[in-house]
């Protein structure tokens, strides 16, 4: 980030926000700024609305929304003295925005109801014994000659701490307790932009060698849903895509799991806990078929049933984050992109006076810029690295789509001399067509493929390194 900022023609006392994904996007960014400063969009000259989450002796922890940061690119924001202090978050009794109306359940420290305004329906199963996002602690009763009995202890003794409205949206803070878990602090946020609900859990848990497990519940109002979840380069329907005898107790999720029925779909994106169970917690019954299950998704956050590859006692402070969203049907590409955004946040770096101590002609635009563009929304740039043999750079691209097609990439700041489709060992297989503008490359995509491309820039083209060139 420092090297990047040094090449951007922006003054000291500014922020550079970098987007590591290959599509333009907006998102929340936090930075420490001096008290009395405001944040200005360098492109529009407009001062941004910020929320302050922490007051240091001389600084504010300011959170703002970075709009339309270019793909594999950056956008800059200026810091200047403000005419007034940022407003303190206002309190409101309504947990609602343009897309959802959320009813909290303080006793459980979770969510009782989620009404989707565009679908015109409540997404939550009101008959479930659990709430959305509720912490569940499971103990095991061992019975001689019989199957073990798994007993679920839902969180309790909860209370609502506060509901705050700020420029970022509405956040509700709740706390609760459970067996061996003296503190569960839950923050439910309805962002001001986009159709998502964010659940952030800070958990303090005691260590024990007794059999235990921890789940977070997401009971959706569906009695015979279709389940789908993402794996590394595809999507699985566990009721139809599993081999006979495959494990149906729990599932390893790449970014998301979803259910759909009768014109409504709901999805959970676990950012920190990749295992999930469907319909119920696992009771280690090893079903031979997936069968028919109610539309509940459970995040399988931890257990100590086997002491093979991890500690038998799991105690301490834990952090679990989830994104919830809904739509008329499951959209795998949109969910995967949302998952990539959740696990790859926008990065921010402050440009200080010492960073600009040496004056030289910096090649990058001081407002915003992009290093790489793809014209296909189903493609994800997973890596961009120097080639192992030193010939140009290597791109690894993942296809989230399910059809064969032609796609184009563009390098706005580089002149391309040659390009090849390579194999995974970076050995050239076939030369690709370079556009007449010498900045674009055409290539073929097969369904769910992982592509390796080699880009060779013009032989005389060298990166500018300013005063640091030897």
Domain covering 100-342 assigned CATH 2.70.98.30 in the classification: yes
Lookup result for tokens 């333009």: 24
The region of weakest confidence among 46-55, 229-238, 279-288 is: 46-55
Sequential DSSP letters for 318-367: EEEEEEEEEESS--HHHHHHHHHHHHSPPEEEEE-TGGGSS-----B-SS
Q: Return the closest-CA partner of residue 267 out of 228, 236, 300.
A: 228
Q: Do domains 2-88+344-356 and 372-467 have the same CATH topology?
A: yes
Q: Is the pLDDT of residue 311 over 80?
A: no
Q: Say which residue, 465 or 27, is predicted with more confidence.
A: 27
Tokens of 80: 């200047």
pLDDT at position 371: 95
Q: Is the pLDDT of residue 102 over 90?
A: yes
CATH of region 372-467: 2.60.40.2220
Cβ-defined contacts of 204-209 (< 8 Å, 24+): 204/316, 204/317, 204/318, 205/180, 205/181, 205/314, 205/315, 205/316, 205/318, 206/180, 206/181, 206/182, 206/315, 207/313, 207/314, 207/315, 207/316, 208/180, 208/313, 208/315, 209/304, 209/312, 209/313
pLDDT at position 22: 96
Q: What is the rounded CA–CA span in Å between residue 56 and residue 294?
A: 48
Identify the band that residue 48 occupies on the pLDDT scale cut at 50, 70 and 90.
confident
Q: Is the pLDDT of residue 274 over 90?
A: yes
Q: Is the pLDDT of residue 374 over 50?
A: yes
Q: Is the pLDDT of residue 231 over 90?
A: yes
Q: Is the pLDDT of residue 329 over 90?
A: yes
Please name the CATH architecture into which domain 2-88+344-356 falls.
Sandwich (2.60)
Q: Is the pLDDT of residue 470 over 50?
A: no
Q: Is the pLDDT of residue 464 over 70?
A: no
pLDDT tens-digit map of 140-188: 998 888 888 999 999 999 999 888 887 778 999 999 999 999 999 999 9
pLDDT at position 85: 59
| 103 bridge partner residues | 113
Domain map of the chain by residue range?
2-88+344-356, 100-342, 372-467
How confident is the model over 430-451, as a mean pLDDT?
95
How confident is the model over 412-428, as a mean pLDDT?
96
pLDDT tens-digit map of 240-258: 999 888 999 999 999 999 9
Q: Residue 238: which residues within 8 A CB-CB, separation 6 or more? A: 227, 229, 248, 251, 278, 290
């Amino acid at each position: 980030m420092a090297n990047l900022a040094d090449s951007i023609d922006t003054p000291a006392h500014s922020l550079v926000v970098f987007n590591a994904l290959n599509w333009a996007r907006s998102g929340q960014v936090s930075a420490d700024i001096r008290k009395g400063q405001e944040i200005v969009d360098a492109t529009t000259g407009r001062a941004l609305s910020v929320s302050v989450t922490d007051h240091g002796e001389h600084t504010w922890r300011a959170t703002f929304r970075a709009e339309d940061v270019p793909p594999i690119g950056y956008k800059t924001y200026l810091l200047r003295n403000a005419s007034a202090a940022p407003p303190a978050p206002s309190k409101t009794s309504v947990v609602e925005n343009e897309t959802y109306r959320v009813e909290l359940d303080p006793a459980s420290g979770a969510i009782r109801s989620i009404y989707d305004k565009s679908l015109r329906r409540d997404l939550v199963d009101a008959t479930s014994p659990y709430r959305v996002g509720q912490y569940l602690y499971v103990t095991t009763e061992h019975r001689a000659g019989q199957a073990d009995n798994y007993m679920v202890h839902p969180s309790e003794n909860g209370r609502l701490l506060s509901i705050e409205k700020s420029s970022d949206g509405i956040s509700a803070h709740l706390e609760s307790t459970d067996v061996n878990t003296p503190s569960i602090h839950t923050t439910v946020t309805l962002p001001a932009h986009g159709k998502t609900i964010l659940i952030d859990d800070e958990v303090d848990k005691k260590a024990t060698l007794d059999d235990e497990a921890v789940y977070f519940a997401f009971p959706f109002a569906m009695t015979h849903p279709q389940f789908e979840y993402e794996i590394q380069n595809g999507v699985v329907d566990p009721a139809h895509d599993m081999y006979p005898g495959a494990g149906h107790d729990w599932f390893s999720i790449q970014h998301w799991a979803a259910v759909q029925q009768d014109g409504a779909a709901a999805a959970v994106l676990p950012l920190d806990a990749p295992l999930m169970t469907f319909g119920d917690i696992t009771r280690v019954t090893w079903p031979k078929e997936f069968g028919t299950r109610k539309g509940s998704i459970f995040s399988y956050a931890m257990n100590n049933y086997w002491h093979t590859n991890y500690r038998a006692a799991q105690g301490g402070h834990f952090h679990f984050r989830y994104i919830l969203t809904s739509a008329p049907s499951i959209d795998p590409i949109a969910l995967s992109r949302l998952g990539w955004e959740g696990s790859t946040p926008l990065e921010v770096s402050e440009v200080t006076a010492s960073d600009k101590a040496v004056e030289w002609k910096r090649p990058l635009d001081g407002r915003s810029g992009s290093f790489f563009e793809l014209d296909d929304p189903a493609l994800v740039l997973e890596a961009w690295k120097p080639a192992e043999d030193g010939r140009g750079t290597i791109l690894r691209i993942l296809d989230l789509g399910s059809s064969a097609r032609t796609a184009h990439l563009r390098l706005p700041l580089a002149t391309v001399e040659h390009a090849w489709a390579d194999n995974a060992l970076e050995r050239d297989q076939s030369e690709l067509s370079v556009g007449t503008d010498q900045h674009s490359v055409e290539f073929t995509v097969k369904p769910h493929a992982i592509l390796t491309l080699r880009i060779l820039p013009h032989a005389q083209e060298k990166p500018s390194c300013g005063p640091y060139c030897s």
